[in-house]
A = this chain, B = another copy of it.
Amino acid sequence: MATAATTPQDSASSTPDAIVVRFAGDSGDGMQLTGGQFTLSTALAGNDLATFPDFPAEIRAPQGTLFGVSAFQINFGSRQINTAGDAPDVLVAMNPAALKVNLAALKPGGLIIADTGAFTKRNLDKAHYEANPLEDDSLAKYDVLAFDISEKTIEAVKPFGLGNKDALRSKNMWTLGLALWMFGRSRQPIHDWLKAKFKSKPDIADANIAALDAGHAFGETAELSGPMRQMEMPPVQSEPGLYRTITGAEAVSLGLVAGAQLAELPMFFGGYPITPASAILHHLARLKEYGVTTFQAEDEIAAICAAIGASYAGQLGVTSSSGPGIALKTEAIGLGIMTELPLVIVNSQRGGPSTGLPTKTEQSDLYQAVYGRNGDAPMPVIAARSPSDAFEVAIEACRIATEYMTPVMLLTDGYIANAAEPWKVPNPADFTPFPAQFLTEPRGEQLLPYKRNEKGARPWIKPGTPGMMHRIGGIEKHEETGNIDYSPDNHQRMTDLRKAKVENIAVPDQEVALGETSGTLAVVGWGSTYGPIHQAVRRSIAKGCSVSHIHVRHIWPLPKNLGELLKAFDHVLVPEMNTGQFKTVLRDQFLVDAQPLTKTSGQPFQIAELEAAIAKYFDGIEGNEGGEVAVNNQQLPSPLAEND
């Protein structure tokens, strides 16, 4: 079986070092659970992995419909895995709609496992299939393994006396059992999990266990030809230690808790539900014992204002949302900048504009993060590149906010928020604390609430501190006293000071993630494109291209050495899941000819897409149809090329 994580040329090789599996079914079929448990077993087997859950926008779409399909993709292997995989090797389709929606993604020659029991006339109609695809030739270029999972599940759970409807709820466990068998995995952890989950309903636990075992047994005992065979995937070489899987939303939440602890501050989180940001609110709501207060406000404006109010009162204020909600926070962010209070703003980006595509991923709020405010309102912006990276980035956001007394925007996205990957559990003691300082006495004769320290930060003075009464607000303030001051010189100076404070934030020098520090092409990414860019660059280097991967965490201010670094390359290509926003920042700041490579379909980049784009810069490299260094300034895919 070929692996998705290698180039087509590799597909002949017999020992795959990675495999991509996609589970797809109705949203009622429990595909996310199945995927989650398969992920656990994969992790326990020592493989590296990345996942991509893709669920419908509807809460519970009517059964069997195309828009009600829920899918979970996992890429796992015996080498480092950075993406959820371009195209699945294996597609599990629990009903016709799931097959229809997901077939296009399947790799040619890939394996389809389908539940014939769900391919009824009714379901075929709902999926707009004229004929049963399992019964005509339409799937000829794939391996198809179709049998009646529904019936087999009902049989397996018969001893527990469940009605048919309840019995069918265990279909996903049957399927999982089969998948476990295929990859030689232990069932024990899933047994344990089921027992814990259905502690109060042991019958249900047992029924599910029976279904799981039956699926496993089916694989083991059935006389099966060709595609149905066991695959072995040796463990990846990993640093020793304790591991877990983590999603981006979890990592941000834990990172914020860690950040607050490193700052020695209680945390106040003001949120308002919005997809995909809500997960952070949900996680933090369960961590009250860590000095966390979560406040579900009446709207996003109140959420950020309450967070600023809490920061004012001496806690670490945090707020979080997605595009439309971040837009609403704009005015209050300005006040945070003017009053110079610490604040972390997390933006879990989704497809836009407007309500857009709430459940799809995109990186299109970078303009808003860097530039989107009235007035000259500089604010640091940092971005997480993967679920596990989000932990460190969240700590970094807390550090900058408290050390520099400033709002900080942390960018993540729908993909990072929901995707899971293995994470070597860090030891909090390994992080350097950055305890917040409160001013409790005037530094000189007079109390000067806006007199800055060497970092340009003003002092943080908590109400409640005797003798330190003062007043702050959103009107331009005097350079030292903080009193209202409209005078031209003062405004000029304060604008300069605010700008300088942010520009001088200590940001680590930019490193090259892969490849040399100079050469023909730098592929510069930020955020969740890390995985596909990394793999595409790795493959291109293997083909002999002089290409490097540079991945920027500090979007604003940028690392001081980044300009020089980029100038050491003949070309700079900036793949983004937007129409070219970060490239604007790079061109403005460094006057380098950064070329955008954009994709705005709500789906992550595929490795192959990036590889092809890189190839255009290299003579004689497969993929460079032109045979010469070509300039990339394209939208991928660009179906409108003819229409423009």
**What 1/0 mask marks residues of chain A from 626 to 641 whose CB sits below 8 Å from any chain B CB?**
0000000001011110
**A373 engages B372 (CB within 8 Å):** yes
A537 vs chain B, min Cβ distance (A): 24
**A355 engages B338 (CB within 8 Å):** yes
A334 within 8 A of B: yes
Docked CA distance A384–B337 (Å): 29
**A352 engages B372 (CB within 8 Å):** no
A302 vs chain B, min Cβ distance (A): 13
| Chain B residues within an 8 Å CB radius of A328 | 328, 330-331
Interface 9-residue window, one of A117-125, A437-445, A599-607: A599-607
**A356 engages B375 (CB within 8 Å):** yes
Known: A334-B354, A371-B367. A492 touches B639 (CB 8 A): yes
| Chain B residues within an 8 Å CB radius of A331 | 324, 327-328, 354
A476 within 8 A of B: yes
Minimal Cβ-Cβ distance residue in B for A366: B371
Taking a contact as CB atoms closer than 8 A, the residue among B355, B371, B488, B593 that contacts A603 in the complex is B488
| Chain B residues within an 8 Å CB radius of A327 | 330-331, 334, 373-374
- Greatest chain B CB density within 10 A among A360, A364, A496 is at A496
**What 1/0 mask marks residues of chain A from 351 to 390 whose CB sits below 8 Å from any chain B CB?**
1111111111010110110111111111000000000000
A423 vs chain B, min Cβ distance (A): 29
| Chain B residues within an 8 Å CB radius of A578 | 376
Number of residues on chain A facing chain B (CB within 8 A) = 76
A430 within 8 A of B: no
| Chain B residues within an 8 Å CB radius of A88 | none
**A489 engages B639 (CB within 8 Å):** yes
A505 within 8 A of B: no
A541 vs chain B, min Cβ distance (A): 28
**B338 engages A495 (CB within 8 Å):** no
Known: A473-B355, A474-B355, A593-B591. A374 touches B326 (CB 8 A): yes
A73 vs chain B, min Cβ distance (A): 14
A470 vs chain B, min Cβ distance (A): 18
Docked CA distance A489–B588 (Å): 31
Taking a contact as CB atoms closer than 8 A, the residue among B475, B489, B499, B635 that contacts A496 in the complex is B635
Query: Which residues in A have some Cβ–Cβ distance to B below 8 Å?
Result: 57, 67, 322-324, 326-328, 330-331, 334-335, 337-339, 349, 351-360, 362, 364-365, 367-368, 370-378, 473-476, 486, 488-489, 491-493, 495-500, 578-579, 581, 583-584, 587-588, 591, 593, 599-603, 635, 637-640, 644
